[in-house]
Amino acid sequence: MSVDEALAHLRGAGESELPSVTLDHLRAERTGFPEVIYCPGKRDDEVAAIAARLAASSGRFLATRATPEQYAAVRAQVPEARYDSDACAIVFETEALPRVGLVCVVSAGTSDRPVAAEAACALDVMGNTIARVDDVGVAGLHRVLGHVGALRTANAVVAVAGMDGALPGVIAGLTDRPVIAVPTSVGYGASFGGLAALLTMLNACAGGVSVVNIDNGFGAACVASRINHLAASRADDRGPAR
Amino acid sequence: MSVDEALAHLRGAGESELPSVTLDHLRAERTGFPEVIYCPGKRDDEVAAIAARLAASSGRFLATRATPEQYAAVRAQVPEARYDSDACAIVFETEALPRVGLVCVVSAGTSDRPVAAEAACALDVMGNTIARVDDVGVAGLHRVLGHVGALRTANAVVAVAGMDGALPGVIAGLTDRPVIAVPTSVGYGASFGGLAALLTMLNACAGGVSVVNIDNGFGAACVASRINHLAASRADDRGPAR
Amino acid sequence: MSVDEALAHLRGAGESELPSVTLDHLRAERTGFPEVIYCPGKRDDEVAAIAARLAASSGRFLATRATPEQYAAVRAQVPEARYDSDACAIVFETEALPRVGLVCVVSAGTSDRPVAAEAACALDVMGNTIARVDDVGVAGLHRVLGHVGALRTANAVVAVAGMDGALPGVIAGLTDRPVIAVPTSVGYGASFGGLAALLTMLNACAGGVSVVNIDNGFGAACVASRINHLAASRADDRGPAR
Amino acid sequence: MSVDEALAHLRGAGESELPSVTLDHLRAERTGFPEVIYCPGKRDDEVAAIAARLAASSGRFLATRATPEQYAAVRAQVPEARYDSDACAIVFETEALPRVGLVCVVSAGTSDRPVAAEAACALDVMGNTIARVDDVGVAGLHRVLGHVGALRTANAVVAVAGMDGALPGVIAGLTDRPVIAVPTSVGYGASFGGLAALLTMLNACAGGVSVVNIDNGFGAACVASRINHLAASRADDRGPAR
Amino acid sequence: MSVDEALAHLRGAGESELPSVTLDHLRAERTGFPEVIYCPGKRDDEVAAIAARLAASSGRFLATRATPEQYAAVRAQVPEARYDSDACAIVFETEALPRVGLVCVVSAGTSDRPVAAEAACALDVMGNTIARVDDVGVAGLHRVLGHVGALRTANAVVAVAGMDGALPGVIAGLTDRPVIAVPTSVGYGASFGGLAALLTMLNACAGGVSVVNIDNGFGAACVASRINHLAASRADDRGPAR
Amino acid sequence: MSVDEALAHLRGAGESELPSVTLDHLRAERTGFPEVIYCPGKRDDEVAAIAARLAASSGRFLATRATPEQYAAVRAQVPEARYDSDACAIVFETEALPRVGLVCVVSAGTSDRPVAAEAACALDVMGNTIARVDDVGVAGLHRVLGHVGALRTANAVVAVAGMDGALPGVIAGLTDRPVIAVPTSVGYGASFGGLAALLTMLNACAGGVSVVNIDNGFGAACVASRINHLAASRADDRGPAR
Amino acid sequence: MSVDEALAHLRGAGESELPSVTLDHLRAERTGFPEVIYCPGKRDDEVAAIAARLAASSGRFLATRATPEQYAAVRAQVPEARYDSDACAIVFETEALPRVGLVCVVSAGTSDRPVAAEAACALDVMGNTIARVDDVGVAGLHRVLGHVGALRTANAVVAVAGMDGALPGVIAGLTDRPVIAVPTSVGYGASFGGLAALLTMLNACAGGVSVVNIDNGFGAACVASRINHLAASRADDRGPAR
Amino acid sequence: MSVDEALAHLRGAGESELPSVTLDHLRAERTGFPEVIYCPGKRDDEVAAIAARLAASSGRFLATRATPEQYAAVRAQVPEARYDSDACAIVFETEALPRVGLVCVVSAGTSDRPVAAEAACALDVMGNTIARVDDVGVAGLHRVLGHVGALRTANAVVAVAGMDGALPGVIAGLTDRPVIAVPTSVGYGASFGGLAALLTMLNACAGGVSVVNIDNGFGAACVASRINHLAASRADDRGPAR
């Protein structure tokens, strides 16, 4: 290919796209959900343009870590989009997916709520039934022990914790369901922005724990939704769970 | 348990609680003091609601790292609550606990005062007599040497230092009382937000030093109060200390 | 409780156990598989005694990171135990569990084999059907692209990679199944013993990736087995997968 | 040399220079481009004075990471200077250098645009033909695979990516041209300000990747421009590239 | 002071000491126990010489992290010295101190035994009654819950754990006694030689936890012994504990 | 695809390959040189089998970081293979590639020789003319200044340095050719295994420096060879360099 | 000492001091200069009170890292105090110390000026003759080579550099005078707030370099002033330097 | 310069040198002492060849971190060379330099002796009078306080400490002489190979401390020797110190 041909090819490939954006239109087919918009570092008008494009092509979108200003820009183009202020997420769906199975979202402290909310919001729009259990850290063990029934019923548990990050390991010792651990940046000093909780979770003595990035409620939701749909879609073929 | 039963169970368990909050009403019985409110990451109304609930159930509460705005929200619900602006703490007690024993709170520099103040405030509301010694870092050894008598009389010493964090190790070589070291984030550059002082304290050559998180005056107070009450309550049985 | 009562209680509680060992006899009931023996830091005779006790109580055991010497000590007590020298694991099962579902174990390079082998060995003894795909790192993309069919059929994918750790994120963009990423310590210099691969995986741009500790093939197997059994047991109720 | 002689010598050496500034007037002769102004930590008037001096002596200058305020100060002295707001760079050239060869600037995500823009802006003023390919991260492999022709035609590829930083390694496996990898600080949590992407790139399994500092689009441009001019100037002697 | 005077002074000061050694003969008076010999980095003959000197002056000594070779050298000079091979410690006491109070030494896993043994050995020679509870990590909560009575009776709890390091925080939520947490280097990968456990403990959500250096069973014993003697000596004045 | 089909497909795909190995037979076509064998973590027989396969299919191979034992195993299968004991590399070529262009390999100290040797060995087998300059660190500037002519003639400079890693930045200020910096693990203490040199190089003030992994002489050779061939092949069309 | 006596003693000791401040009135006698005020973390009124006390007792003071607001508070109490806005320092001296000897303060880039200014300001008030050399980083070696005469005349060289931090090592190879290296936080990305420059300097290959904390111009001045006074005071006894 | 000319030039430049070695024959003139041989990473015959060359050209040499095998190789060529087994250094001097001034070498613990010995050995061969003070760590302050006279008489103090690294800061508060701090790798766990001591020293609150690399006794000696010679040579002009 000559230099001129290469430049022509690139110009052509970009014509059907937004500037600086290359949408992955086949992601829903490959991975089960359309491309999600990660808002930080994008201008308000970029977020809005991508959202409008996805709304048109997929009938649904999720934008995470969105500011109210970004939401305003989106709503100007997609008026039906709604804003989950706890999760800082923008959601749009022309037709809601059926909510199936059960994912339990557990948090260790009230300060972890924004991350748990992001997980719950993403799980919801991805079509999962959700149960929330908040503020049940290991400093008062009876609080999490009181929810063992639910932890053994869900297809997956998303366990959110900052500071010492001990909760997911304790949960994994109480259930045979997969536990997706989400460290949060809640804490100070030697929490090093969530590093302490992350390391705790990676070193959990109990089996069945896997970990996502610090504060990544969305990422945990992706994993849990894949598991829950796998279990639930098969269960759907045979009738209700027993 | 079926999915529906699990959801019903969770909804029921939450009815008597605040949203996103699961209070640990038995903590005073188990550990000697009611649950303490860690304010960062909580909304003002959440702090106020938790404070009101604790005031009603326990007759006392402590809220650490509170902003003036959070204090205003609390005072609207618990008018007798007071704000310690040095410690950034909100305190409420219907009946003050008796102050017993002696804990010495020592700081290396004037800039460490907020952390020392948090320790002193928590020790006070937890019912400990306190002695403060400020600005006696090891660059001028005669300053701390002048207080050896007090350091050998207290049941526990809380030693607060930033930068090189050398003070607690020097103190532990001068007394046979347990020293709880608190690294602070005072410093710059290679202090790495208090990491240098933390490592110094963990590597103290003198025996008798244990360490809490960076800037965690409250945590040091918890440890010192447990020690002081253990020594003082037993001493109380036999009359005044000698 | 008095000091004498406490000492008596502790002595009593230990009588039915091995010295320094407190077996968790109910772990299989709670989490689906008996306690697993982590061999480093244990003496050969300790490993053998724990193995014998588990063989008697559970009819099966798995010991990870075992040396040949530890295996010799175990075989003296449990002659039917076998040693997987690729995985450095000791396995014993009086009756093999039925192998169900499908888990795909993928590795990026030949040097990652020991970790992939540990995952495969643990998945096998936990009762999972396994497919192995080795040496398909992203430097030659056609290698992993040639296995997309399998990656979309398995209930879970265990993706093992050292150095840049890029493989799990690429796989997660090609399938809708959960991907459990295992960073390995393969590499040198700025791989920092697997830290580079660990961070890559935690920051994977594609959804559906969760991560376990560096070189923790066993931990990935625990997660994948939980997922696979969840999907497969439900599928079993309804006949073969379609 | 006596103290007085030393002081006199230093005063003399400084007379022809700006205060606190020692310009390297021979840099273009030695390295192919005049000294570039790194704006952070410099006062607005300092930036303007250096820019004016370089404009006079070299007929061109580039100032990176400039604020709009710094640009305003520069424009007051060099009215023809222009501001690239995507790249945050100030550019001035009395006579544009001929644009030669081809450098491909590829970015993984829309949020990486400022860094890619800095690379492109610097490459442009240094006299290179540029092709931009944006938002082609490895979560959707078909996007980068669609540009293989261009990647095999350019004399150098600048590959910009945050988060997992996997893109440069994938590109280097698809082409025989040198790939200059630029990690960006895009991400959160365990991206540690771009450290994760940096380590990924340093550990790339594919050969042909070298790395510059986090967010250092300018540094990548310097390397790529040296390579491109080396190839292109020689090619120029023999006619157009084939 | 002139240079010659300084040299003379230094030579004089060293005459009564061993080469390269300056013993702290007053440490027992100041801090309650004679200087302890840290063996790594010392030659066998140095350890033996210091031990002999301490045996003569204090009637007791403790040498930590001693090799069998160092023990052999010591025994040649102090035949009554004994070696605790679990703790790798050399102990000598002409007259045993009375063992008073109660300190509970708890470990999370069998592999943590050497560190727990060092703590127990030091506590013993320092004159403390000890209760050991081993292998009660949080993956099987019922194990530690079964020992709550002892944890609430001891004057101090030394809690030893590697990997996730979650045990001390769980214990501190179950008792009102001070908990001295000892992270161990047990683990691999992202345990980073005990850093993960250290950070977990520094970030423990439950109050009452303070931390010593990784693998520092001896340091925890120093702190616990100071607390236990403080409580026990006062209790002794009033008769047996109730 | 059914589970059985997936298993059959995988078994089929593996038949023509070595166990645990998936050779990338098209790498030379895509990137200019066949797959290179990274020896650590591979068994001797694996290295030999891969080497034999590559010798048959490509007529040449390079194996890096090979032990003498691995070389013995290779020579048993490929008797003409030779061992470069400075570089710890095994080389085989049925027909040597023409050596073209010029790459300068510079090292800062004698202790850096193994890394420089690996770069030189790889550059040689990849068909590049090489000039070596050793032991010219910046503590004696006149040493590197004496080689400026060569540094300005080569198409690329590979600059190898440990400890402070300052050499590549100094070189880049003296030439307009691309400088590929290789940090080495030579040093101790705060060199942190080469991290210090790595960071120095990433922060080089002079333009034109890009960096590869610590001790990665091979990686630098890949980059330099791509640049040198690009320049030389074009130059070849027009006659000798001037 | 009883608890009451201890409290009384502490109250008494504090009466002659400011609240939270324990001045070290003998520091000038011990170390050659009065206590210096580190302003961050101190309230404006605290800085002013300490300054006034030192002005009264010592006739001079230096306050580093002072804000304009802190200066205003000081000037209200000590009107003759002056503010060095480059160094962010407040200086007061009733009688200037004689400026003796020679210290050379060299900086690598214009952005390093605040740190170099702090060093120069402190050296000045401590009574040292100073020579400034700015913006002579190693990217253009001729700049520093032009000042070799001064570098060989000064009693000490303070070398300030950010980014790669290579300048002090190059200087130390050119002179036999002690070089005090000051890393600065100038840079971004993998400079990690000055860590890169710090490590470079600690690993300098040339002898004669010692290092102070990142951005610690004041600390370098203390070291250089001690050296310069030692050399100059002795030289003063024998007449002018030759 | 053509490629052939460059190769010829390089070959010529190397003829008078050892292979892979470029000696800096003018270092003594520039910096006061000939080039020193850093032995790690060099072959025994290389060390011997460099030593012989330096012995011939300079009449003295110092080789640090030498193994007994390297010493044997050296002695075969330079029979008068001697080995300091405490410092692991090889020393040769045809005529000893006069020992002038006074440098005090202080260490905190007996385990720090090898580093202190390296400093003392290097100071000796560089022509400095030395005073040693060993094992005076801050856990027993009276030990260092007993040597204040010497610390105030020396021209420079080299202070060596591992673990908490607190000694240099304490010394700097007791004297007005420059203190060169040497962190050692003595310690374990959170000492992180000497990082803790390094950070402590960089953050020393007392003025007058500068720091060299971990375990770098030689580097501290270089700095102290430069200072001591500066002071002593000037003092020599005026008669004995007073």
Query: Could you give the residue ranges of the DSSP H alpha helices within B59-211?
Result: 68-77, 113-125, 141-145, 148-153, 167-172, 195-202
Measure the CA–CA gap between F187 and F115, rounded to whole angstroms: 14
Six-digit token string for G183: 């890393």
pLDDT for the residue numbered C28? 84
Residues H48-80 pLDDT 10s:
999 999 999 889 999 999 999 999 999 999 999
Are E22 and H142 a contacting pair at CB < 8 A? Answer: no
Residues G68-119 pLDDT 10s:
999 999 999 999 999 999 999 999 999 999 999 999 999 999 999 999 999 9
Measure the CA–CA gap between B89 and H16, rounded to whole angstroms: 74
Q: How confident is the model at residue B200 (pLDDT cuts 50, 70, 90)?
A: very high
pLDDT for the residue numbered C11? 59
pLDDT for the residue numbered C239? 41
Please list, residue by residue across F62-89, b when 16 or more beta carbons sit within 10 angstroms of its beta carbon and e when fewer do. bbbbbeeebbebbbeebeebebbeebbb
Terminal Cα-to-Cα distance of chain B (whole angstroms)? 61
Measure the CA–CA gap between A19 and D41, rounded to whole angstroms: 33
Residues of H in contact with B194 (CB under 8 A): none
pLDDT for the residue numbered F7? 67
Measure the CA–CA gap between C181 and C174, rounded to whole angstroms: 15
Are E169 and A205 a contacting pair at CB < 8 A? Answer: no
In this structure, what is the dihedral angle of CA atoms E12, E17, E19, E23, given to the nearest 10 degrees? -130
Measure the CA–CA gap between A16 and A13, rounded to whole angstroms: 7
Residues E28-66 pLDDT 10s:
888 888 889 999 999 999 999 999 999 998 899 999 999
Tokens 């450095």 locate to C88
| DSSP secondary structure letters along E12-65 | HHHHTS-TT----TTHHHHHSS---EE-TTS-HHHHHHHHHHHHHHHSEEEEES
Nearest CA in chain C to A242: C234
Are F108 and G163 a contacting pair at CB < 8 A? Answer: no
> Which residues neighbour E8 within 8 Å (Cβ) at sequence distance 6 or greater?
none
Average pLDDT over all residues of chain H: 90
pLDDT for the residue numbered G105? 98
Closest Cα of chain D to G197: distance in Å? Answer: 14
Q: Picking from C47-61, D194-208, H132-146, which range would have the lowest pLDDT averaged per residue? A: H132-146
Six-digit token string for D187: 């991400």
Averaged over D120-140, what is the pLDDT? Answer: 94
In this predicted structure, the answer to whether residue C16 has a pLDDT above a threshold of 50 is no
Six-digit token string for B90: 């909100």
Closest Cα of chain C to F215: distance in Å? Answer: 7
* pTM exceeds cut of 0.90: yes
Nearest to H205 among B164, B174, B202 (CB): B164
Contact G186, G143 (CB under 8 A): no
Contact E172, E206 (CB under 8 A): yes
Nearest to D131 among A10, A19, A20 (CB): A10
Measure the CA–CA gap between B89 and B117, rounded to whole angstroms: 9
Whose CA is closest to G180, among G191, G169, G195?
G169
pLDDT for the residue numbered G237? 47
- ipTM entry: 0.91
Measure the CA–CA gap between E228 and B177, rounded to whole angstroms: 10
Measure the CA–CA gap between H51 and E18, rounded to whole angstroms: 36
pLDDT for the residue numbered G116? 97
Six-digit token string for B97: 């606990």
Parts of chain A with a pLDDT under 70: 1, 6-7, 9-17, 234-242
Whose CA is closest to C224, among C181, C172, C184, C185?
C181
CA F110 and chain centroid, separation: 19
Contact G218, G119 (CB under 8 A): yes
pLDDT for the residue numbered B55? 93
For C120, phi and psi rounded to 5 degrees?
-65, -40
* β-bridge mates for residue A231, sequence order: none
Selected residue with higher pLDDT from E158 and H30? E158
Tokens 């560190």 locate to E115
Quick one: which H or E segment has residue D232? helix D217-238
Measure the CA–CA gap between D175 and F222, rounded to whole angstroms: 12
Question: Which of F106, F152, F188, F242 has the highest number of chain H CBs within 10 A, making it the mutation to test binding with H?
Answer: F188
One-letter amino acid for residue B152 of the chain: R
Are G200 and F205 a contacting pair at CB < 8 A? Answer: no
* β-bridge mates for residue H131, sequence order: H104
From start to end of D68-112, where are the E strands? 82-84, 89-93, 100-107
Sheet holding A89-93, edge to edge: A37-38, A60-64, A89-93, A82-84
- Cα F15 to Cα A100, C141, F9, distances in angstroms: 42, 20, 10
Residues of B in contact with A136 (CB under 8 A): 22
Averaged over C210-233, what is the pLDDT? Answer: 96
Question: Which of C99, C153, C176 has the highest number of chain F CBs within 10 A, making it the mutation to test binding with F?
Answer: C153
In this predicted structure, the answer to whether residue G152 has a pLDDT above a threshold of 90 is yes
Query: What SS3 class is residue B128?
Result: strand
Are A22 and D136 a contacting pair at CB < 8 A? Answer: yes
> Which residues neighbour A15 within 8 Å (Cβ) at sequence distance 6 or greater?
none
Measure the CA–CA gap between E126 and E36, rounded to whole angstroms: 11
> Which residues of chain B are at the H interface, by a Cβ-Cβ cutoff of 8 Å?
108-109, 137-141, 145, 163-166, 169-170, 172-174, 187, 189-192, 195-197, 199-207
Are C153 and F20 a contacting pair at CB < 8 A? Answer: no
Q: How confident is the model at residue E144 (pLDDT cuts 50, 70, 90)?
A: confident
Do at least 3 CB pairs under 8 Å connect D with G? yes
Measure the CA–CA gap between H159 and H134, rounded to whole angstroms: 10
Measure the CA–CA gap between A172 and A209, rounded to whole angstroms: 6
Contact B198, B69 (CB under 8 A): no
For chain C, the farthest-separated pair of C-alpha atoms sits apart, in whole angstroms, at 70
Selected residue with higher pLDDT from C160 and G140? C160
Do at least 3 CB pairs under 8 Å connect E with G? no
Q: How confident is the model at residue H7 (pLDDT cuts 50, 70, 90)?
A: low
Q: Picking from A37-41, C20-24, C94-98, which range would have the lowest pLDDT averaged per residue? A: C20-24
> Which residues neighbour H202 within 8 Å (Cβ) at sequence distance 6 or greater?
B189, B190, B196, G198, G211, G212, G213, G214, H211
| DSSP secondary structure letters along H56-93 | HHHSEEEEES--HHHHHHHHHH-TT-EEETTTTEEEEE
For chain E, the farthest-separated pair of C-alpha atoms sits apart, in whole angstroms, at 70
Are F139 and H195 a contacting pair at CB < 8 A? Answer: no
pLDDT for the residue numbered F234? 61
Are D188 and A42 a contacting pair at CB < 8 A? Answer: no
Q: What is the 3-state secondary structure (H, E, C) of chain A?
A: CCHHHHHHHHHHHHHCCCCCCCCCCCHHHHHCCCCCEECCCCCHHHHHHHHHHHHHHHCEEEEECCCHHHHHHHHHHCCCCEEECCCCEEEEECCCCCCEEEEEEEECCHHHHHHHHHHHHHHHHCCEEEEEECCCCHHHHHHHHCCHHHHHHCCEEEEEECCCCCHHHHHHCCCCCCEEEEECCCCCHHHHHHHHHHHHHHCCCCCCEEECCCCCHHHHHHHHHHHHHHHHHHHHHHCCCC
Residues G11-45 pLDDT 10s:
654 444 577 788 887 788 888 888 899 999 999 99
Nearest CA in chain H to F86: H43
pLDDT for the residue numbered G42? 93
In this predicted structure, the answer to whether residue E193 has a pLDDT above a threshold of 70 is yes
Parts of chain F with a pLDDT under 50: 13-16, 237-242
Q: What percent of chain C has pLDDT over 70?
A: 90
Are B211 and E208 a contacting pair at CB < 8 A? Answer: no
Whose CA is closest to F235, among F127, F103, F105, F100?
F100
pLDDT for the residue numbered C116? 97
Residues B29-67 pLDDT 10s:
888 888 899 999 999 999 999 999 999 988 999 999 999
In this predicted structure, the answer to whether residue H171 has a pLDDT above a threshold of 90 is yes
Sheet holding B156-161, edge to edge: B128-133, B100-107, B156-161, B179-183, B209-211, E209-211, E179-183, E156-161, E100-107, E128-133
> Which residues neighbour G239 within 8 Å (Cβ) at sequence distance 6 or greater?
none
For G46, phi and psi rounded to 5 degrees?
-65, -45
Whose CA is closest to C86, among E39, F19, E164?
F19
